[in-house]
A and B are shown apart, each in its own frame.
Chain A
């Protein structure tokens, strides 16, 4: 670990720290705006909000391993991945509030963030449905011989539906440049991996596809995630798909409706164990060990992150809601209005 961290500059480590803190504060703000905010003009509404709290090192570390022409696609726990890939937090928050300035114009919501300009191909809310999309993007890159690769986050729960199976097999048959990163937080919605999967070690499934079995990394350690994903992406450019795992945990439950930590005392113990390995603290400890008297700089980054989140909230609150023209726009490309509404 220590030798790897030395290959990264202080600036890089501080930037990563800033981003994982930003994502944590962003998610905590979403939680606040959903549950505690009383002013309807500032509230996040709706039935779906899946927070990335606890998974920041997996999200940021993996995304930072991408080159500018590489691609990332994921499921519905997508806020942190969007921000890590460079999507403007103002527009992410505006999407949470269903505003026209949101990444999807207020039409996608929390689960459907995307930004084509940074090759963030979106969050998708049908479990497993994005996996073949990622394979299709990889197919295009191989078709045009670009050398670009795709990072496809896959939840441990998504391993058990047909999408993953079919897409993984096809990617291997065609040797496409894609890394399937299993974001293993031990539970799919409320069902634990040992209750849902005959094979509880996700990377062992690679053998079933003749695919490269990649590493299982500590998903709370951003440096470890980054180094491993970077290496596997580079391998995949020439050789084809890889199945790897990042072991992490969600601190907030599946979604806003999930009271798992209130209802399950046994899980509180597990949560405490994982909170002791909070990805922010893991990175902060490494930075502090390496650089003396860095506390003030870290505190400054904390303050900056708070400012970014506060600014995002004000931006979203003050943005216009979409209107009827937005409602009927982009159903089709270039069809006349009578077709759009009939």
Chain B
């Protein structure tokens, strides 16, 4: 057992999978000689060489599309989008090709592709570089979407993703890269489509993923001081969406707050709320409350940027509104 940052846990996952399976290769902007914009691939170019750690041109459509073709042909590409903001350029390649090909050709081809992308608002990164758009991608059948909330999950989820036969968008919250978790020495995988209870409690269910889990856990500690016990569910995979733990928790607490770093309209929170009222209406003692980013493009100035974003205090406040 040792403490690793999420950055190093992801790096360990990639490293182990590249050693295990030589069909696994990496491609993306600045991942090789530059050592990776977020340093997740630090040292890989030197260790594995240019065939398996492929620096690409600034060509998001081709990064996703070429990786999709290579996956169809039998390799196991892990493509990196420097940030999810740039993956919008690859939307068609990922949604209309990677995610559709298995179905559209009736199973003749598989696309064992992982697209890694850094996500979340940065420090004053501004409107075009501050997206957390996982729910948009998770809208489409055929694609798997995962986003870990800590280093431990990140390692097990990424290894599972690389071994899976489906195309996967795997987003990594930039703010979580430096944060450590204890990582076991032995290998472990976190199955695709498995959510987790991150804190137990009987009074309210808080559902989140990614950065929101951190705010939710922080809020739960604050609430505990007032003798309010929150149960925190980390969805981990937005698609396939595992509602089992959320539903079980909700049937116990009868109250729910959904926390998301992303925008409120047509969102993660909307989906969780809709599914809860469909499946557990009789257990509902209060409306499902959503804590989301404010419905604006993110600005530069620090004061108003922070105003637009969720935080633990907003989660505490939302919980009190549903109690």
Contact = CB atoms under 8 A, between A and B. Distances in A.
Which of A71, A124, A329, A332 has most B Cβ within 10 Å?
A332
Given A107-B103, A116-B109, A333-B165, A143 B96 contact: no
A195 B92 CA distance: 26
Nearest to A173: B57
Nearest to B70: A136
Interface residues of A, number: 47
Interface in A156-185: 162-163, 166-167, 169-170, 173-174
Contacts of B67: 136
B68 A114 contact: no
Contacts of B104: 104, 107-108, 112
Nearest to B106: A105
Interface string A105-129: 1111000101110000110101001
Nearest to A330: B107
Given A104-B104, A126-B97, A139-B75, A333 B110 contact: yes
B118 to A, nearest CB: 21
Contacts of A166: 57, 59-62, 65
B57 A330 contact: no
B66 A167 contact: yes
Contact of B62 (A71, A108, A167): A167
A131 B65 contact: yes
A70 interface: no
B145 interface: no
Contacts of A112: 104-105
B20 to A, nearest CB: 17
Interface residues of B, number: 47
B103 A169 contact: no
Contacts of B54: 174
A127 to B, nearest CB: 10
A342 B272 CA distance: 13
A136 B72 contact: yes
B25 interface: yes
A141 interface: yes
Given A174-B54, A334-B165, A132 B61 contact: yes
A133 B68 contact: yes
Contacts of A106: 106
B62 A135 contact: yes
A134 B69 contact: yes
A333 B98 CA distance: 13
Contacts of A124: 97
A170 B105 contact: no
A163 B62 contact: yes
A114 B109 contact: yes
B102 A333 contact: yes
A140 interface: yes
B64 to A, nearest CB: 8
Given A126-B97, A162-B61, A342-B240, A136 B108 contact: no
Interface string B256-296: 00000000000000000000000000000000000000000
B106 A143 contact: no
Contacts of A330: 102-103, 106-107
Given A132-B65, A135-B62, A330-B103, A169 B74 contact: no
Contacts of A173: 57
A331 interface: yes
A169 B61 CA distance: 12
A335 interface: yes
A339 interface: yes
B162 interface: no
B18 to A, nearest CB: 13
B5 interface: no
B241 interface: yes
A137 interface: yes
Contacts of B61: 132, 162-163, 166-167
B192 to A, nearest CB: 8
B62 A132 contact: yes
Contacts of A136: 65-73, 77
Interface in A279-333: 326, 329-333
A133 to B, nearest CB: 4
B86 to A, nearest CB: 13
A132 B66 CA distance: 5
A330 B71 CA distance: 17
B185 interface: no
Contacts of A163: 61-62, 65, 93
A300 B301 CA distance: 79
Interface string B70-103: 1111110100000000000100110011000111
A87 to B, nearest CB: 11
A114 B105 contact: yes
Contacts of B164: 333
Given A137-B72, A170-B57, A143 B25 contact: yes
B142 interface: yes
B193 interface: yes
Nearest to A113: B105
B65 A167 contact: yes
Given A133-B69, A139-B69, A104 B62 contact: no
B122 interface: no
B62 to A, nearest CB: 4
B151 to A, nearest CB: 26
9 contacts: A136-B72, A137-B70, A139-B66, A143-B70, A167-B62, A333-B165, A335-B166, A340-B141, A342-B241
Given A134-B69, A170-B59, 6 more contacts: A132-B68, A132-B69, A137-B69, A137-B73, A326-B106, A332-B102
7 closest A-B pairs by CB: A136-B69, A132-B65, A105-B106, A166-B62, A140-B73, A133-B69, A339-B240
Interface of B: 25, 51, 54, 56-57, 59-62, 64-75, 77, 89, 92-93, 96-97, 101-110, 141-142, 144, 164-166, 192-193, 240-241
